[in-house]
């Protein structure tokens, strides 16, 4: 298989205006990956899938990562036809809060469909062009993104059926506040 | 009712040619290939020529008579193998839309793993696909070994292969048993499967102390060594497995109900299967020669002689049959591994198991688990916990094409198509 440098050169030759850089793996013994600018990601992905020599027809794994400055989606590509891989490509958002859009690669590789939904659900990356972008694991109406590193679980433990200790105290306080000063039945 | 004694191979052959539509000498229903190179199908358009949206499920129109019926199959439907829901729109008996709903068993395994040490997640991997805890251990150990650059001693690799293949046999046996149960064979084939599975679980218990939550593999080897008595017991169980496979196959293969319900049902085209990331027996039943044991040759798999069965009708029957044939190939691997295993250490003397901090970096380790490609993607920032810990769940990703396979089929077939995917909700929802 081509080296990562050769793949980068092939992408730049085939896709005009593609912005690709090699993202070194901090551990040099492990393979490096390619960072792709979101604007050209669809064209690059199409090239990687259809190129005669690469034929990366199988997208194995899509991972969301929460970095301090941005959110990132990492794609592990293999070739079923040529039996090689992985080639790792990654894209990152502008920031973590306001500009969290990335292009969806589901039109190229269908296997991204549920995995990108999961990342949208747990990390809050909005994949533009995804055919069916809904939450996957959390329920509709859930507000936050639980895999983010600054996620704080909501304080709704009063619904816990066997509340005890700290949780029981919080539940009692909460129920007392909700019921008003008189006639609290919390903790029974 | 036919006798349940193991048939001689020649008897199986005879039944073969009666059942299959092809005459003697014609290519059989299933082909078994061990070549590494897959041929591209003549006549199939290349990916670049396909129209936009070819990999999306088609939009089905109701025939205009009567009303659409929307049914929520699950989360407590007995055929969903756990808590899983399919929102189905039915036009009479015909499925015209199907949307899977996940998350009933979600416990954010990945988040929990980011909060504990590398070793701390090992017992938790047992709970992903709880039928196959040992292969989960293996995939995770492989990823951490890649990340930290650890070597595994030979005996440990052999033990991993033995346990992994035993896991595959019992997984495939029980998945076939569940499939027939969903066809209405209440219990009988499942009990045959569980009879064999029971012996394998006893072996697991003898070695690891637990029947299902094995927590046996460690980074750089295995937790305890297998005694000579255990290996003898394993040899005895493995010697009985071909008889079980014959019996099981004879019980089911020519069964009229099984054939009528599964042949031509739930067809998955190979190019869509690859594009949708389907792996494992599902992919090979669609005729795609891709087995990670052959492709990556992880562990010591390249020392064993085994073949990769491939389907050529791409339907539910092929998926059943692939699992049957894979069991036989696993038995071959088991026989070789149990013969060749040598004494030696099961843990590398330099192994770092607990309290280590891998150098910053990222690694992806994957294995051919019984349900498909199980991978773990780890990012280390030099701390004692993984910065990112991702499970690539074959059960979830194999469900991507569930709607495509079910559209236009009867609602009763949805149960079978879903059963032929072979999922465990612990892994789907994580």
Shortest CB distance from B103 goes to which of A26, A60, A136? A136
**Per-residue confidence at B379, pLDDT binned at 50, 70, 90?**
very high
Cβ separation B103–A109 shorter than 8 A: no
Range of the domain at B382: 59-429
Fold topology of A4-149: Beta Polymerase; domain 2 (3.30.460)
**Per-residue confidence at A117, pLDDT binned at 50, 70, 90?**
very high
Cβ separation A109–B277 shorter than 8 A: yes
The CA-CA-CA angle for residues B23, B24, B26, to 5°, reads: 70
Predicted local distance difference test score (pLDDT) of residue B12: 35
- Return the residue of A nearest to B395 by Cα: A114
The region that residue B395 occupies, defined by phi over 0 for left and psi between -120 and 50 for alpha, beta otherwise, is alpha
Q: List chain B residues with CB under 8 Å of A137.
A: 102-103, 106, 429-430
**Pick from A75, A97, A99, A90: which is nearest to A148 by CA?**
A97
**Residue B98 burial (CB count, 10 A):** 25
Predicted local distance difference test score (pLDDT) of residue B9: 38
Higher pLDDT, A75 or B32: A75
Best mutation site among B55, B85, B277 for testing chain A: the one with the most A CBs within 10 Å? B277
At B259, is the secondary structure helix, strand, or coil?
helix
Strand partners, B287: none
Output the CA torsion sign for B181, B183, B188, B189. Answer: negative
Tokens of B385: 């916990």
Q: Taking residues A98-114, what's their average pLDDT?
A: 91
Predicted local distance difference test score (pLDDT) of residue B67: 82
Compute φ and ψ for B40, nearest 5 degrees: -80, 140
Predicted local distance difference test score (pLDDT) of residue B368: 92
- Over B289-320, what HEC string results? CCCHHHHCCCCCHHHCCCCEEEECCCCHHHHH
Predicted local distance difference test score (pLDDT) of residue B15: 37
B4 has a pLDDT exceeding 50: no
Cβ separation B277–A81 shorter than 8 A: no
**Per-residue confidence at A169, pLDDT binned at 50, 70, 90?**
confident
Cβ separation B364–A61 shorter than 8 A: yes
Cα–Cα dist A49/A53, whole Å: 10
- Tally the residues of chain B: 430
* Residues B387-415: tens digit of each pLDDT: 999 999 999 999 999 999 998 888 889 99
Q: Is the peptide bond prior to A108 cis by the omega test (within 30 degrees of 0)? A: no
Q: Taking residues B288-301, what's their average pLDDT?
A: 90
Interfacial B residues in 147-176 facing A (CB < 8 Å): 147, 149
Flag whether residue B377 sits within 8 Å of chain A, measured between CB atoms. yes
Report yes or no on B313 lying in a domain: yes
Report yes or no on B47 lying in a domain: no
Cα–Cα dist B286/B282, whole Å: 7
**Per-residue confidence at B149, pLDDT binned at 50, 70, 90?**
confident
Interface A-B, measured as beta-carbon pairs within 8 A, has a size of: 116
- Over B360-429, what HEC string results? CEEEEEEEEECCEEEEEEEEECCCCCCCEEEEECHHHHHHHHHHHHHCCCEHHHHHHHHHHHCCCHHHHH
At B269, is the secondary structure helix, strand, or coil?
coil
Predicted local distance difference test score (pLDDT) of residue B28: 44
User: How many structural domains comprise chain B?
Assistant: 1
Report yes or no on B74 lying in a domain: yes
Cβ separation A80–B288 shorter than 8 A: yes
Flag whether residue A74 sits within 8 Å of chain B, measured between CB atoms. yes
Report yes or no on B16 lying in a domain: no
Report yes or no on B53 lying in a domain: no
Predicted local distance difference test score (pLDDT) of residue A158: 54
B307 and B34 Cβ atoms separated by less than 8 Å: yes
Compute φ and ψ for A58, nearest 5 degrees: -125, 110
Flag whether residue A27 sits within 8 Å of chain B, measured between CB atoms. yes
Q: Which of A157-171, B13-27, B255-269, B315-329 is least confident?
A: B13-27
Q: Is the peptide bond prior to A147 cis by the omega test (within 30 degrees of 0)? A: no
Q: Taking residues B105-123, what's their average pLDDT?
A: 91
Higher pLDDT, B82 or B50: B82
Which residues does B242 contact at the CB level (< 8 Å), separation at least 6? B6, B328, B331
* Residues B261-293: tens digit of each pLDDT: 888 888 898 989 999 999 999 999 998 999 999
- Return the residue of B nearest to A67 by Cα: B387
Q: What is the end-to-end Cα distance of chain B in Å, rounded?
A: 42
- Residue ranges per structural domain of chain A: 4-149, 153-183
Higher pLDDT, A122 or A17: A122
Q: Taking residues A19-34, what's their average pLDDT?
A: 86
A39 has a pLDDT exceeding 70: yes
Q: Taking residues B61-88, what's their average pLDDT?
A: 84
Q: Taking residues A30-47, what's their average pLDDT?
A: 90
Cβ separation B147–A49 shorter than 8 A: no
* Residues B334-369: tens digit of each pLDDT: 999 999 999 989 988 888 888 888 889 999 999 999
Q: Which of A110-119, A151-160, B60-69 is least confident?
A: A151-160
Q: Which of A171-185, B148-162, B244-258, B260-274 is least confident?
A: A171-185
Interfacial B residues in 19-48 facing A (CB < 8 Å): 36-38, 40, 46-48
Cβ separation B102–A109 shorter than 8 A: no
ipTM above 0.85, yes or no: no
Higher pLDDT, B79 or A133: A133
Report yes or no on B22 lying in a domain: no
* Residues A49-88: tens digit of each pLDDT: 888 888 898 999 999 999 999 999 999 999 998 888 789 9
Flag whether residue B270 sits within 8 Å of chain A, measured between CB atoms. no
Flag whether residue A83 sits within 8 Å of chain B, measured between CB atoms. yes
Flag whether residue A187 sits within 8 Å of chain B, measured between CB atoms. no
User: Residue B93 is part of a domain; what is its CATH number?
Assistant: 1.10.645.10
């Amino acid at each position: 298989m081509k080296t990562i440098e050769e793949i980068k050169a092939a992408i730049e030759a085939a896709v005009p205006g593609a912005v690709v850089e090699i993202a070194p793996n901090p551990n040099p013994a492990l393979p490096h990956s390619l960072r792709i600018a979101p604007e050209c990601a669809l064209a690059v992905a199409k090239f990687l899938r259809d190129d005669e020599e690469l034929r990366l027809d199988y997208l194995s794994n899509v991972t969301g990562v929460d970095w301090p400055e941005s959110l990132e989606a990492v794609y592990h590509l293999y070739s079923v036809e040529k039996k090689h891989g992985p080639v790792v490509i990654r894209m990152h958002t502008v920031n973590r809060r306001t500009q969290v859009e990335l292009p969806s690669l589901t039109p190229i590789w269908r296997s991204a469909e549920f995995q990108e939904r999961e990342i949208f659900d747990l990390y809050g990356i909005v994949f533009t062009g995804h055919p069916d972008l809904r939450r996957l694991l959390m329920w509709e109406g859930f507000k936050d993104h639980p895999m983010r590193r600054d996620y704080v679980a909501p304080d709704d433990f009063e619904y816990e059926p066997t509340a005890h200790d700290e949780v029981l105290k919080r539940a009692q306080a909460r129920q007392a506040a909700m019921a008003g000063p008189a006639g609290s039945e919390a903790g029974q | 009712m036919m006798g349940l004694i193991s048939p001689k191979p020649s008897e199986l052959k005879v039944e073969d040619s009666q059942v299959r539509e092809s005459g003697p000498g014609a290519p059989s229903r299933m082909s078994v290939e061990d070549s590494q190179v897959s041929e591209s199908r003549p006549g199939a358009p290349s990916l670049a020529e396909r129209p936009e949206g070819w990999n999306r499920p088609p939009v089905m129109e109701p025939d205009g008579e009567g009303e659409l019926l929307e049914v929520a199959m699950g989360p407590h439907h007995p055929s969903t193998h756990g808590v899983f829901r399919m929102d189905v729109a039915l036009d009479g008996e015909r499925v015209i839309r199907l949307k899977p709903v996940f998350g009933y068993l979600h416990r954010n395994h990945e988040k929990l793993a980011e909060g504990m040490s590398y070793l701390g997640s090992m017992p938790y991997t047992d709970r992903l696909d709880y039928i196959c805890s040992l292969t989960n251990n293996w995939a995770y150990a492989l990823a951490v070994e890649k990340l930290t650059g650890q070597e595994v001693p030979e005996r440990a690799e052999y033990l991993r292969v033995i346990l992994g293949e035993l896991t595959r046999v019992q997984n495939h046996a029980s998945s076939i048993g569940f499939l027939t149960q969903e066809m209405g064979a209440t219990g009988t084939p499942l009990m045959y499967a569980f009879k064999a599975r029971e012996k394998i679980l006893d072996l697991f218990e003898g070695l690891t102390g637990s029947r299902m939550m094995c927590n046996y593999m460690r980074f750089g080897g295995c937790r305890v060594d297998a005694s000579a008595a255990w290996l003898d017991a394993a040899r005895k169980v493995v010697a009985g497995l071909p008889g079980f496979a014959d019996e099981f196959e004879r019980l089911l293969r020519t069964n009229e109900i099984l054939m009528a319900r599964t042949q031509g049902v739930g067809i998955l085209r190979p190019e869509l299967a690859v594009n949708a990331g389907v792996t494992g027996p599902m992919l090979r039943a669609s005729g795609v020669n891709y087995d990670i044991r052959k492709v990556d040759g992880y562990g010591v798999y390249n020392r064993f002689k085994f073949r990769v069965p491939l389907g050529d009708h791409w339907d539910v029957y092929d998926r059943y049959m692939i699992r049957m044939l894979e069991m036989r190939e696993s038995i071959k691997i088991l026989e070789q591994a149990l013969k060749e295993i040598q004494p030696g250490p099961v843990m590398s003397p330099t192994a770092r198991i607990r309290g280590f901090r891998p150098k910053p970096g990222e690694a992806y380790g994957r294995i051919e688990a019984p349900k498909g490609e199980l991978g773990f993607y780890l990012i280390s920032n030099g701390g004692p916990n993984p910065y990112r810990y991702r499970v690539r769940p074959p059960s979830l990703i194999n469900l991507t094409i569930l709607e495509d396979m079910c559209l236009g089929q009867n609602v009763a077939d949805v149960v079978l198509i879903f059963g032929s995917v072979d999922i465990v909700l612990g892994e789907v929802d994580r």
